Structure 1
Amino acid sequence: MPTSQSSEPGDTRITISNICSVQGFKMMRFILDRMLGRMRSWLRLFGYDTIYAEEGEEDGTLFLRAKHEGRILLSRDKALVERCRRRGVRAVQIRSLDIVGQLTEVMIHLGVDPSPKMIRCTLCNDQIKRLNKDELEALREEGYDYIPVSPPDDREFWQCTGCGQVFWEGGHWENIRKTEELLRRRYMTAERLRHKLEHWIEHSEGHLESYRKAMEEAGDLGLRDVQDDLKQAVQAMEDATGWLMSALKRLKMEDSGEG
């Protein structure tokens, strides 16, 4: 769990610059449409600056916010994603309906790191800071009676610098860790699939040359029926290679927006 501190004495703010430099965190900023509400908290938990469409917010406003703030638009709306791309805004169409599937998509297509990072508030998206023992006691005296009493060496607490919400690793973290492990397994599966596709494409292209040469030889020998069959084989192999290349492109790159 990241607990980097500022060099300033007494400052327990976890700086995003430290997280990025020390752990190679790939900084990305997101804006989500209202069909992807559950992703909001998860992406913030993973450390990403993530905002959410306001009630009734028009697509044009989402586009402008993404463009002006340098955010990647995530949406289930194919037409909106295509409009954004045509106008130079990075956008990804999310197809999955369940949250694990949606997180898998952004992990594979954008390189989202599914490790929980105590950087951002999952409620309001502001930064959070780690609390020391005295700060915890002061909060309890102020009425934060929901904060569990725990020895300082046993459990860490954080507070949002914006909304004031206090966080700690409670029982729900078991499910969070299980989700992280599941996402990492899915990523490894996707990597194996990528290697398979690259291998198949390489071999298909090699076989195509042999098929074409054999087809020419059959023609030179006057074996028209054989030549016709080989021609069909070449066409089938070309089609198969094209589909394999399309699958690889979809896997390696951002969603193409196609249906």
Structure 2
Amino acid sequence: MDMVSATFRFYEELNDFLPPERRRRAFTCACARAATTKHMIEALGVPHTEVELVLVNGESVGFDRLIEDGDRVAVYPKFEALDISSLLRVRERPLRVTRFVADVHLGGLAHLLRMAGFDTLYETGFDDARIAALGADEGRIVLTRDRELLKRRTITHGCYVRALKPALQLRELFERLDLAGSARPFTLCLHCNVPLREVDKAAVLDRLPPRVRVLYQHFLTCDDCQRVFWEGSHWRSMRALLDPLLAERGDG
């Protein structure tokens, strides 16, 4: 096979996907002459969905750029503090609405995202093909801890979740994807992922525990599962989890 040689350097958290000897340093490797930047980035272990900017010899390029002999390739994750929108070449367009599909191992995170008001699909029966299709067809960000899933060509927007516990996973996404400004807490059913609506107390009185009938006056309901929600101890626990994440937008 006809080969070329190129030098790669990955930055910040992208190094987590590399073997120790290749982290935070430039290294040279052989590439097939027909290899694209996407092919080589993923062959080296980094899902393309984690990449925001690729520079080849100092020029911003797309994932379809062919690797040439002697190329120097710098690969960057999402920039947290700098606006580099004018440089971006790796995706055709941003998503207009932030919504998700989570893999079968992220059920706890899916419920917390719904709590924060983000449309999040999750079912234990979803296989990788179904998740990839939902991401592509409905413009959803794929959430997973499976890097091989994120390497699928049809997935344009995805996020490799590093944290192991749901509360920490939620914090990770709020920080990485800057979610505070678009959160709408307690507007979706945690179980059905459909909008909640306000309901008169009299209409749900027969579904309320005796103590709740006395203590609470304001209620929300889900038209799919018929559950009723009020601002009780569970709500206060969820509020305590969300408030620090929402502090940046100042609406607590």
TM-score range normalised by the length of the shorter chain? 0.5 to 0.7
Instruction: For structure 1, list consecutive stretches of 5 or more residues without a partner in the other structure.
Output: 1-25, 189-259
State the one-letter code of the partner of 2:213.
V
Q: In the alignment, which residue of structure 1 is the partner of 2:40?
A: none
Q: Are residue 127 (structure 1) and residue 195 (structure 2) matched?
A: yes
Counterpart-to-counterpart distance in 1, 2:203 and 2:240: 34
Superposition deviation, residue 121 in structure 1? 0.5
SS of the residue corresponding to residue 239 of structure 2 reads: helix
- 1:27 and 1:48 in contact (8 A); partners too: no
- Any residues of structure 2 matched to 1:158-197 within 5 Å, and which? 158-183=220-245
State the one-letter code of the partner of 1:45.
M
Q: Deviations over 1:24-59 (max 9, x none)?
A: xx841110001111011111111111111332x321
- Any residues of structure 2 matched to 1:50-129 within 5 Å, and which? 50-55=120-125, 57-83=126-152, 86-113=153-180, 117-129=185-197
Counterpart-to-counterpart distance in 1, 2:123 and 2:190: 15
Counterpart-to-counterpart distance in 2, 1:145 and 1:101: 33
Superposition deviation, residue 116 in structure 1? 5.8
- Any residues of structure 2 matched to 1:243-254 within 5 Å, and which? none
Superposition deviation, residue 178 in structure 1? 2.1
Instruction: For structure 2, list consecutive stretches of 5 or more residues without a partner in the other structure.
Output: 1-95
Q: In the alignment, which residue of structure 1 is the partner of 2:14?
A: none
Counterpart-to-counterpart distance in 1, 2:124 and 2:165: 22
Counterpart-to-counterpart distance in 2, 1:165 and 1:118: 13
Calculate percent identity across the aligned residue pairs: 29
Counterpart-to-counterpart distance in 2, 1:28 and 1:116: 12
- Residues 105 and 127 (structure 1), Cα distance of their counterparts in 2 relative to 1, 3 Å cut: same
Task: Give every structure 1 segment of 4 or more consecutive aligned residues whose post-TM-superposition deviation is greater than 4 Å.
Answer: none
- Residues 139 and 182 (structure 1), Cα distance of their counterparts in 2 relative to 1, 3 Å cut: closer
Superposition deviation, residue 172 in structure 1? 2.1
State the one-letter code of the partner of 1:170.
G
Superposition deviation, residue 90 in structure 1? 0.5
SS of the residue corresponding to residue 162 of structure 1 reads: coil
Superposition deviation, residue 113 in structure 1? 2.3
State the one-letter code of the partner of 1:96.
A
Counterpart-to-counterpart distance in 2, 1:117 and 1:184: 10
- Any residues of structure 2 matched to 1:10-29 within 5 Å, and which? 27-29=97-99
Superposition deviation, residue 91 in structure 1? 0.5
Q: Are residue 137 (structure 1) and residue 202 (structure 2) matched?
A: yes
SS of the residue corresponding to residue 172 of structure 1 reads: helix
Relative to its length, the structure with more strand (as a share) is 2
Q: What is the TM-score with the length of structure 1 in the denominator?
A: 0.53
CA RMSD of aligned residues (A): 2.5
Q: In the alignment, which residue of structure 2 is the partner of 1:149?
A: 213
Q: Deviations over 1:48-92 (max 9, x none)?
A: 11111332x321111011111111100010111122xx4352010
Counterpart-to-counterpart distance in 2, 1:31 and 1:157: 28
Which structure is richer in relative contact order (CA contacts within 8 A, separation 6 or more)? 1
SS of the residue corresponding to residue 102 of structure 1 reads: helix
State the one-letter code of the partner of 2:218.
E
Q: In the alignment, which residue of structure 2 is the partner of 1:46?
A: 116
- Residues 50 and 112 (structure 1), Cα distance of their counterparts in 2 relative to 1, 3 Å cut: same
Q: In the alignment, which residue of structure 2 is the partner of 1:36?
A: 106
- 1:63 and 1:89 in contact (8 A); partners too: no
State the one-letter code of the partner of 1:72.
I
